[in-house]
């Protein structure tokens, strides 16, 4: 398993997550969407699989879901 430095802004996590005060009051979101990291984590906590999230929100990728979970874990 690859070790990821979550504080390195060039990392894939920061390429996929953004926080803009004009979008959801600055909550971290999947870049280019209004889907927050918090919402993705809530879906995962309710036993929704990453594949299920992507099926329900086809504009997301499994990599987006993974980045959200990793971001939340930092």
Range of the domain at 61: 12-73
Asked, for residue 4, whether it belongs to a domain, the answer is: no
69 contacts 48 by C-beta, under 8 angstroms? no
pLDDT digits (tens, 9 = 90+) for 46-59: 999 999 999 999 99
* CATH for 63: 1.10.10.10
Quick: pLDDT tens for 23-74.
999 899 999 999 999 999 999 999 999 999 999 999 999 999 999 999 999 8
Residue 40 resides in a domain:
yes
List, in sequence order, every beta strand (DSSP E) within 1-74.
17-18, 29-30
Structural domains counted in the chain: 1
Please indicate, yes or no, if residue 6 is contained in any of the structural domains. no
Structure tokens belonging to residue 59: 């504009």
Alpha carbon distance 39, 43 (integer Å)? 6
Query: How many CB atoms sit inside 10 A of residue 8's CB?
Result: 10
**Does residue 7 fall inside a structural domain?**
no
The verdict on residue 22 lying in a domain is yes
């Amino acid at each position: 398993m690859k070790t990821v430095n979550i504080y390195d802004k060039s990392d894939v996590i920061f390429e996929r997550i953004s926080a803009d005060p004009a979008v959801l009051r600055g909550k971290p979101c999947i870049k280019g969407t209004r889907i927050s990291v918090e919402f993705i984590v809530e879906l995962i906590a309710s036993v929704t699989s990453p594949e299920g999230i992507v099926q329900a929100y086809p504009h997301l990728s499994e990599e987006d879901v993974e980045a959200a979970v990793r971001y939340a874990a930092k």
